[in-house]
């Protein structure tokens, strides 16, 4: 089985595609004998969902949760002079306490089912791809090493302030010394320090902006070079970062104190053969398509994406709403103390991994939980509060699909993210109702909470190549008509309190088998093979016109003039 990949679609066996339970991986490897006196670490960048790892038949680590990395020091388990073996057992079973949650139903009728027959019930609308989705690495450091680096930035006039904190670890007879340098793209040092934590000023810096801000040098990245010196030897780490700020007011999302409007997409980390397995060609294709569409942001729906994807977002200037795997939290069992403890742990892992990325502008703690359930109030007060404690520099939210405002959680967020499907999941086909229903709904949320609002999903299932005139649901014509009515409402609210729009979805993606999905979710404006449906050209025209507008107000007036003419 190739690693990285999802094992589900690689073979031609239905039993493997739909398998629920323990999958075993095994591999031999050698270790450089020169690493004997160094700290050797085995790192898994993602294993879905529950993983148990042995080295040379000895238990090394256990990790609960997919999508995020975990690692352990393995010196005491290695044979530096011979062959080694790593064995991994991965279980993709979803329970009420996993993220995403699920349940197992055992079928007991002997006339219908064989003994022990069970089904996995999903509480999310995408396929439960499983396996070792990302790289497995063996790396080494000195025995005194850099354990963690935190970088945050401020802007004071024409000066960039870089706050940093370095945490060394390891045993040493004397405290290590450190040299910190900020290196620009030309390779020149523009600031330095010899302290483990502190501030470094960068005069007249290049700031990191999403590329659609029409600036000369968007997405500018510096490098924080940290050299830790101890009797164990030097440990050198180079951390890319950008100088930028993010904050919200009652009506605006501000990047570097300038209003930012997200014209984006929601995505899934999904390909044809590799499932959620890391695929460099697909990453490159997706970012080319994002630029082609004129997208300046996307949401990692509904789980953290591979670090290589966020690398590209940093470098190419695509803003990110970084979302946890908290999708499908809809039943009472999902709000209990075991689930909460796991959710807090997952948010800690997510923030630790992505906290230094300039592209990450918002943390999303969940997608479409049952926030009208009274149990959700204490649960998400804790999750959102914990996330703000972990990182007070970014807004924190969750994505809400409540319509009737019997909501207990929106009170805690910094920015309101809403999924809306008027004329699809309600009043299907009646696009003439979209402007009335969506406009009233948005105004009511704004009046109640006085916070900026972003639409994080709107869309209609569309079969590529299916046409009808007049439009009919599931046709490409209906998707265009549907989106056009939403756009009219967005134009009316942009510049008032609406700070972004994200179509659902960037591309078609696989779901569990069912009579409501035809080989997956077809709401993509692209097919799963990344070919555009007609709606993609509508979105491309809209987003590229936004490039010429310097503020939300300008864009709102611009589109009003287009509609009038």
Distance (Å, whole) CA 560 – CA 273: 44
In terms of residues, how long is the chain? 565
Q: CB of 308 within 8 A of CB of 280?
A: yes
DSSP per residue, 95-127: -TTSSS-EEEEE---TTTS-TT-EEEEESSSS-
| Active site members | 368
Q: Parallel, antiparallel, or unpaired for β 22-29 and 84-91?
A: antiparallel
Token pair for 504: 């659902």
Nearest to 291 by CA among 544, 551, 545: 544
CA–CA distance from 248 to each of 184, 241, 414, 441, 556 (Å)?
A: 29, 21, 7, 21, 20
Q: Map 329-393 to HEC letters.
A: CCCHHHHCHHHHHHHHHHHHHHHHHHCCCCCEEEEEEEECCCCCCCHHHHHHHHHHHHHHHHCCC
CA atoms within 13 A on the CB side of 76: 5
Kindly report the number of other CB atoms within 10 A of residue 277's CB atom: 26
φ, ψ for residue 75 (rounded to 5)?
-50, -45
Q: Which residues pair with 181 in a beta bridge?
A: 192, 225
φ, ψ for residue 248 (rounded to 5)?
-125, 150
């Amino acid at each position: 089985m190739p690693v990285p990949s999802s094992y589900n679609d690689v073979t031609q066996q239905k039993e493997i595609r739909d398998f629920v339970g323990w999958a075993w991986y095994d591999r031999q490897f050698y270790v450089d004998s020169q690493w004997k006196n160094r700290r050797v670490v085995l790192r898994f960048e993602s294993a879905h969902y529950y993983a148990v790892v042995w080295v040379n038949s000895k238990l090394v680590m256990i990790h609960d949760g997919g999508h995020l990395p975990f690692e352990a020091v393995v010196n005491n388990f290695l044979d530096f002079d011979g062959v080694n073996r790593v064995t991994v057992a991965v279980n993709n079973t979803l329970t009420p306490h996993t993220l995403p949650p699920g349940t197992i139903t055992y079928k007991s009728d002997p006339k219908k089912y064989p003994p022990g027959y069970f089904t996995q019930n999903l509480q999310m609308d995408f396929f439960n791809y499983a396996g070792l989705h990302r790289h497995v690495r063996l790396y080494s450091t000195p025995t005194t090493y850099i354990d963690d680096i935190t970088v945050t930035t401020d802007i004071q006039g024409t000066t960039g302030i870089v706050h940093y904190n370095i945490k060394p670890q390891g045993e040493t007879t004397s405290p290590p010394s450190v040299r910190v340098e900020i290196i620009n793209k030309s390779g020149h040092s523009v600031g330095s320090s010899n302290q483990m934590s502190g501030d470094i000023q960068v005069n007249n810096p290049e700031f990191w902006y999403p590329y659609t801000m029409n600036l000369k040098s968007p997405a500018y990245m510096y490098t924080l070079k940290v050299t830790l010196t101890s009797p164990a030897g030097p440990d050198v780490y180079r951390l890319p970062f950008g100088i930028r700020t993010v904050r919200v007011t009652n009506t605006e999302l501000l990047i570097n104190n300038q209003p930012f409007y997200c014209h984006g997409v929601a995505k899934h980390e999904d390909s044809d053969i590799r499932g959620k397995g890391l695929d460099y060609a697909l990453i490159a294709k997706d970012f080319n398509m994002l630029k082609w569409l004129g997208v300046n942001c996307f949401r990692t729906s509904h789980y953290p994406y591979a670090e290589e994807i966020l690398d590209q977002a940093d470098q190419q200037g695509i803003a990110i709403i970084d979302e946890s795997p908290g999708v499908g939290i809809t039943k009472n069992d999902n709000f209990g103390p075991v689930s909460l403890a796991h959710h807090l742990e997952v948010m800690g892992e997510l923030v630790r991994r992505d906290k230094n990325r300039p592209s990450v502008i918002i943390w999303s703690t969940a997608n479409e939980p049952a926030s009208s359930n009274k149990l959700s109030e204490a649960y998400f007060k804790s999750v959102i509060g914990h996330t703000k404690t972990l990182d007070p520099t970014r807004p924190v939210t969750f994505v809400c699909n409540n319509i009737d405002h019997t909501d207990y959680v929106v009170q805690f967020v910094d920015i309101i993210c809403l999924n809306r499907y008027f004329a699809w999941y309600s009043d299907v086909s009646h696009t003439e109702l979209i402007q009335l229903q969506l406009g009233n709904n948005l105004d009511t949320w704004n009046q109640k909470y006085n916070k900026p609002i972003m639409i994080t999903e709107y869309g209609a299932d569309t079969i590529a190549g299916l046409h009808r005139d007049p439009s009919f649901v599931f046709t490409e014509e209906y998707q265009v008509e549907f989106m056009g009515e939403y756009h009219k409402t967005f134009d009316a609210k942009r510049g008032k309190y609406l700070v972004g729009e994200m179509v659902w979805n960037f591309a078609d993606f696989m779901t569990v088998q069912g009579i409501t999905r035809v080989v997956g979710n077809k709401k993509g404006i692209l097919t799963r093979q990344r070919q555009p449906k007609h709606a993609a050209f509508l979105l491309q025209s809209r987003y590229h016109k936004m490039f010429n507008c310097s503020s939300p107000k300008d864009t709102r007036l611009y589109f009003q003039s287009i509609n009038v003419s």
